[in-house]
Structure 1
Amino acid sequence: MKKVISLVLFLCLFLSIQAQNTEIEKLKQQIEKSIRSNPDSAKVYMFRLLQYSSQLPDTLVGKTYSNIGIQYNRLAVPDSAEFYMKKALEYTEEFPLEHAKMYLNLAINYRMVARYQESLEALDSAIQFYKKAGNRVGEGVAYGEIGSNYNYMMNSEKALENLKKAIAILTEAGNKRELYIVKQKLANLYYNNTDYAFAKDIYEEVLPIFAKSKGPNYYYTLLSYADCLIQLEENYKGAEEALKEAENGLREINNMEYMWLSVSNLAQVYEATGRTQQAQDAFQKAYEGSFQLNSTRFMEISVRYLEFLNNHKQYSQALTVINRVKSNAKKPGLKMNADNEIDFLKQAVATYSQKGMVENSLQSFERMDFLKDSINAAINKAKALELQETYQNGIQREKNIVLKKNNELLVENNNKKDNILLLSILIFMLILAIGFVLFKSNRNKLKLQQELVSSLEISKKALEEKNTLEGELRIERERTLANKEKELVQVSLEMSDLQNRLMELLDSRENPVSSQVLAEKIKDILGQNNYWKYFKGKFVEVHPVFALKLSEMFPNLSDNDIAFCCMLKLQLSIQEIASLMGITNEQVDSKKATLRRKMGLGDDILSFEKLIDHLE
């Protein structure tokens, strides 16, 4: 009887396990079907699969958590994506290869929300575990992702360095699939550096390979390829076809963030081919869709839409977009980085200028100037740290060389001492000979140390002389700049005075009738000899960015208008300006009034003078 009961219990347990195994296999199949096209459904099936985690290998549990994170990433929920990707790491610690893959996924998630430093740290960890697992292909993939990170960080040199390393590793490993993916990243690098022709050629090489599976990477590549065609203005029809395919494909796999980006790109094609209403409709859809999605691409799409509205003089609508962007700029998904904000402020300045909102225009321009200075400061700091690191590595190499020599001397001395101990057993003469050798060796060692100290002192002296020379050069540059400014004003005034004196002499000549022809020729020569070209060259040396900033704030100003503002900046008199520009005093006053109207200041003379005086 007991045997029958045991058999029945065993049979029930076996059937229960079989049923669970069947359910697990069914869930795996459902995940496989929905993972590309429907991230929400795939996520639900994955959570169900985790209910059987006690029966699953740790590597499969970790992979499932990581895949959940990937689905959240596709749904533009980066915080949840990060949580589940980190949880995946807990289950793969004992498996280097799988652990490396989890770090790789986490790094990509960090990069998509512009957390580049954390992404680089995760990729460094991935490389260490790939090396531990002896997986060269994984190393190549990780270096490719590092290259992508530096590409997003606008560090082309390091991006190219890591992409070349990835290509070399993957070529050696013979993995063509990953090699084409890295080549696509290389194309992205050329694309970001506006080398659209070279980028287009590489995209055309990899697209047929990606088209075989038509996954997300294929549609991302189509987006970049289409933009190359738009920028090169050589094949709008091809760009439109690529973008429509990308739009449909991204909608099918429910990647709405990049789907709206493709709609925004289509709007550019419509505008370039004269379909203005279609362009506006597409821009509006992409703008609203990315906002509702809380997409990280919302700012990029908004800037394109603003540029379209400004180009078509729809300033009121542009102002509405500006206000909406500003009011939502602090939201996590819609937060602007420095480059986005600079592009946005450029369009805002154009809108404010046309709407006569001078104060808003000035505030936006000052903010844009501050951001540019901040970016330049960050770049300079990075370069300084890189130079410091190079210098420290050089010092460490010198220390290693000295240490190696000292070790060699130490080994040599120990060998000699051993020889002395052995030879001392023999005869006294041999001991004297060995003592003489030691004395000579120590003297050489002392000489070497003295030479080393002397070399270090010479290096220190050379460094001090270099620092002194650099300080003198800096002072000399400042002195030269000040002299140039004085020279500019002095020479301009002298030219103006000389021309006025010549004109006075002509007007006061004794016999006007007989010298009328000669006087007219001299006046004609004076009128043609416009000294503005000389003045402009000298002015740019003293105030290199004044004219550039003025052009960015007021794009409708002509070169002649900018020249006039430069002379106002130097506080030249009406007579001096008239002489330099070859016009009358009355025309100078008239030109001031015309400039105020172009800048949207009307008769506000005080604001006009304040703008010229404070702009640097």
Structure 2
Amino acid sequence: MKLLLLTTLLTLNCFAQNPPGNCGSQWLKADYTGLQQAQTASATADAVIAANTAHDTVIAKAYTTAGIYMDFNGQRKEALTSYNKALEHLQPYKLQQIYVYINKAIALEQLNDYQKMFTEANKAMTLSNKYGTPVTTALVYQTLATYYFRTDNMAKSSSYLLKGIAILEKQNNRCYLPLLKLSLANTYIQTNNYQFAADLFKEYLDNNTNAKGSKQYTIAIVNYTECLIELNQLEKAFTLLENALPDVKLAGDKELEAVLYYRLANLENRRERIESSLTFYKRAYVLLGEGKSRFSTNIFTDYLEVLNKAKKFKEAGALMESFKNSDAYRKSTTQDRFEYEQSAAAIYNKTGNLKEANRALTEALRLCDSLRQVGNGLREQEVQAQYQTKVQREQNIILEKRINRENLLIVLYIILSLAIIIIGYMYIRGYRLRHRLNKERFKNTVAEKNLAQQQRDYEQELSNSQKTIIDEKQREVTSMALRLASYYDHINDLVARVNNSSNIAEIKKELQQIVKQKDYWNQFETRFNNLNPEFASSLVNKYPKLTKNDVEFCSLIKLKLTNKEIASLLQISHESVITKKYRIRKKMELQDDADFEKLLSDL
């Protein structure tokens, strides 16, 4: 199953349910539960606007309320007009302008006008820095995080969310803190950190049961089940989705209903219930207007993969013909389009449409280059790892406080015991006093041993956590090498299959140029060196006869790639791999492959 984005985007766009205790100012879209509440408030606002006799701030808030209702109702351009009228009445009132600019930015995001969204968010930030409060600054950070998420810059999105969370935690603000934490949890899904994301989602669901049935609560369930699926808790995920479905149908939110069917389809596919999975996919796709929603690309991509799995190639081909020029494809993220083109290439190959297969594969490679997998990906993981460390540190502080309280209780108990002993000294003989004192010293020794053992257990847990992060990065490098090999095999296979087609020379030349690209090897080399900085220098110092190519070849063996995988990645024959391994082993004066591979693994 591929990583999903659509529920993440819904969460970022719809903000939160009405904050606990009704602590919102009602200036923000975030302060409303949804369309129904906004419609009720808009009726009163229309009367204020029609009378036009109230104070400027009251009229401005009425225009803002009307704009929020239009935004919820899908009338984003009309909402922008209403927000602009609100700003006309707020010239002297800078704080209120911040809220209106935030609402404008979110409406522009819905219209996919990210440049204007960024401009409005920066206006809000400028005003907040001068006239706002820490809370308004945190909300602007969340808006900027949405912009960077939509423009595929996950590192900055995570960074802004963490800044906002730090501000709200310092202010002890419980109105908007759950919103930012949910948004952050969704970024963890992007890097496959499902356990930590699941913890954040579960924390929200447990603490907001009063919001059950709201759109935000349902979206949190959907994202939580994404984590549960990846953690192989399939039955729990299926039950949560089934229980949430009636509330969504009752609310009439077709887009969110499609998301639930989509997740159910993924679950059924995971459990090899292919026909049931296809039924759910079809319901989801139809609910989104068969390509009219910007979230259709995610659903359609996975739908194609299951159709391919079921060998329903003609049905998949017919759907692709209607989808490839849809608004949904144009509105989707780079990651979405990359995954779609991969699936489309596989279907076109199965149906014999080699021209379209070649086009889809070429487009997938272009999109892959634009994803900035090395730079942004590593930075995003670093930012998220910092937040995990912060949370772990806070948990350690709580543990330390608990231990201190326990120690204090022990000290008080000892003092009380000594007082009793002193009073009893007048009534009890000396040997009983010595017996009690020895007993207390024994208790203290046991307590100290237990405390020391708790500290050792904690240090071991922290060490294991760091080792897990390193192991995950090592597996990521291995996975990237295998994907490179798979890409080359796929392209070479395509070259072989078009031998009987027209324009053979042109197609072969184009695909061979793709095979010769070195960008992927450079990315692999960078990641490998980051994880194993001393490997190359240690190997050359110990065996100076080795060339640079020998060292690169040894790095692939260290990753435990098979001879076949190395041959595919380096585009050489299987026999050449065996020969090269033999020559390198001779340079290192090693007798057999076992000693050779063990030496590389230990470096």
Same structural fold, with TM-score higher than 0.5 when normalized by the shorter chain: yes
Name the CA shift for 1:255/1:80 in 2 (closer, same or farther; >3 Å). farther
CA contact under 8 A between 2:70 and 2:76: conserved in structure 1? Answer: yes
Deviation at 1:267, TM superposition (A): 1.2
Structure 2 residue aligned with 1:604, among 500, 509, 519?
500
The equivalent of 1:118 in structure 2 is 116
Paired AA for residue 106 in structure 2? I
Residue 347 (structure 2) aligns with: 351
Q: TM-score, normalised by structure 1?
A: 0.54
Distance change in 2, residues 1:230/1:172 (3 Å): same
User: Cα–Cα, structure 1 residues 101 and 80, in superposed 2: closer, same or farther, change >3 Å?
Assistant: same
- Displacement of 1:549 after TM fit? 3.1
Q: TM-score by structure 2 length?
A: 0.56
How do 1:279-318 and structure 2 match up within 5 A? 279-291=277-289, 294-318=292-316
Which aligned pairs between 1:497-512 and structure 2 lie closer than 5 A? none
Matching residue within 367, 376, 383 for 1:371: 367
Matched residue, 1:90 = 88
Residues 209 and 299 (structure 1), Cα distance of their counterparts in 2 relative to 1, 3 Å cut = same
Provide the residue aligned with 2:338 in structure 1. Answer: 342
Per-residue deviation, residues 565-610 of structure 1 (Å, max 9, x unmatched): 79xx9xxxxxxxxxxxxxxxxxxxxxxxxxx5xx4x5x72777776
Retained in 2: the 8 A contact 1:150–1:156? yes
Rounded Cα–Cα distance in structure 1 between residues aligned with 2:201 and 2:236: 13
Give distance in 1, aligned partners of 2:95 and 2:184.
Answer: 26
Matched residues in 2 for 1:172 and 1:183: separation? 14
Contact 1:75 1:255 in 2 (8 A): no
Distance 1:273 1:84, change over 3 A: farther
Summarize deviations over 1:70-112 as a string: whole Å, max 9, x none. Answer: 3443344433333333333223333222211111112222334
Counterpart in the other structure of 2:220: 221
**Following TM superposition, by how much is the alpha carbon of 1:243 offset from its aligned partner in structure 2, in angstroms?**
2.5
**Runs of 5+ unmatched residues, structure 2:** 1-25, 380-479, 515-603
Q: 2:176 aligns with which of 175, 178, 185?
A: 178
**Conservation of the 8 A alpha-carbon contact between 1:257 and 1:293:** no
Letter in 1 for 2:500: D
- Cα distance between partner residues in 2 of 1:270 and 1:294: 25
- 1:544-563 → structure 2 map (5 Å cutoff): 547-552=485-490
Q: Closer, same or farther in 2 for the Cα pair 1:95/1:255, shift >3 Å?
A: farther
Deviation at 1:40, TM superposition (A): 9.2
Moved more, 44-53 or 251-260: 44-53
- The alpha-carbon deviation at position 68 of structure 1 amounts to 3.5
For residues 154-553 of structure 1, what are the structure 2 equivalents within 5 Å? 154-214=152-212, 215-232=214-231, 234-291=232-289, 294-329=292-327, 335-374=331-370, 547-552=485-490
What amino acid maps onto 1:221 in structure 2? A
Is this contact kept in 2: 1:266–1:282, CA < 8 A?
yes
1:177-200 deviations in Å (ceiling 9; x for gaps):
322222222212211222111111
Task: Please give the alpha-carbon distance, in whole angstroms, between the structure 2 residues aligned to 1:296 and 1:80.
Answer: 20
Q: What's the counterpart of residue 78 of structure 1? A: 76
Corresponding residue of 1:143: 141
Q: Deviations over 1:440-479 (max 9, x none)?
A: xxxxxxxxxxxxxxxxxxxxxxxxxxxxxxxxxxxxxxxx
Describe the superposition over 1:251-271 as per-residue Cα deviations: whole angstroms up to 9, x where unpaired: 444433232122211211122
Secondary structure at the aligned position of 1:356 is classed as coil
The code of the aligned residue for 1:99 comes to Q
1:353 deviates by 0.1
Alpha-carbon separation, structure 1, partners of 2:168 and 2:373: 37
RCO higher in structure (CA 8 A, sep ≥6)? 2
Contact 1:143–1:165 (CA under 8 A) maintained in structure 2: yes
Change (3 A) 1:44 1:340: same
Q: Check conservation: 1:59, 1:92, Cα contact below 8 A.
A: yes
User: Unaligned 5+ residue runs, structure 1?
Assistant: 1-27, 384-539, 554-561, 570-595
When the two structures are aligned, how many residues end up with a matched partner?
A: 381
Contact (CA 8 Å) 1:38, 1:253: kept in 2 or not? Answer: no
Compared CA separation, residues 257 and 39, structure 1 to 2 (3 A):
farther
Q: Distance in 2 between matches of 1:342 and 1:182?
A: 28
Q: C-alpha distance in 2, partners of 1:608/1:287?
A: 38
1:480-538, Cα deviation, whole Å (9 max, x unpaired): xxxxxxxxxxxxxxxxxxxxxxxxxxxxxxxxxxxxxxxxxxxxxxxxxxxxxxxxxxx
Alpha-carbon distance in 2 for matches of 1:84, 1:367: 41
C-alpha contact (below 8 Å) 1:78/1:113 kept by paired residues? yes
2:487 partner letter? K
Is 1:102 matched up with 2:100? Answer: yes
Is residue 35–residue 42 contact of structure 1 (8 Å, CA) maintained in 2? Answer: no
Q: Provide, for residues 292-346 of structure 1, a one-character-per-residue CA deviation record: whole Å limited to 9, x for no partner.
A: 69322122221121122112111111111111112424x7x96444333222211
- Give the superposition deviation at 1:357: 0.7
Code of the residue aligned with 1:279 in structure 2: it is S
The answer on whether the counterparts of 2:67 and 2:79 sit within 8 Å (CA) in structure 1 is yes
What residue is the counterpart of 1:498 in the other structure? none
Cα distance in structure 1, aligned partners of 2:271 and 2:140:
41
CA contact (8 A) 2:57 2:90 kept: yes
Alpha carbons 2:198, 2:228 under 8 Å: kept: yes
Identical positions, percent: 22
SS of 1:177 mapped into structure 2 = coil
My pick for the range that moved more, 36-45 or 305-314, is: 36-45
Cα–Cα, structure 1 residues 254 and 59, in superposed 2: closer, same or farther, change >3 Å?
farther
CA apart distance, 1:47: 7.0
* Cα contact 2:38–2:69 (8 A) shared by 1: yes
Between stretches 199-208 and 63-72, larger displacement belongs to 63-72
Superposition deviation, residue 53 in structure 1: 4.2
**DSSP 3-state at the match of 2:294:** coil
The 1-side partners of 2:225 and 2:205 are apart by 12
RMSD after superposition: 3.8
Q: Which residue is 1:580 aligned to?
A: none
Match of 1:66 in 2: 64
User: Kindly tell me: are residues 363 and 156 of structure 1, through their superposed partners in 2, closer, same or farther at Cα, counting changes over 3 Å?
Assistant: closer
* Cα 1:36–1:105 shift into 2, 3 Å: same
3-state DSSP class of the match of 1:291? Answer: coil
After superposition, the Cα gap between the structure-2 partners of 1:549 and 1:138, relative to the gap in structure 1 and judged at 3 Å, is same
Q: Partner amino acid for 1:354?
A: K
Contact 2:169 2:177 (C-alpha < 8 Å) held by counterparts:
yes
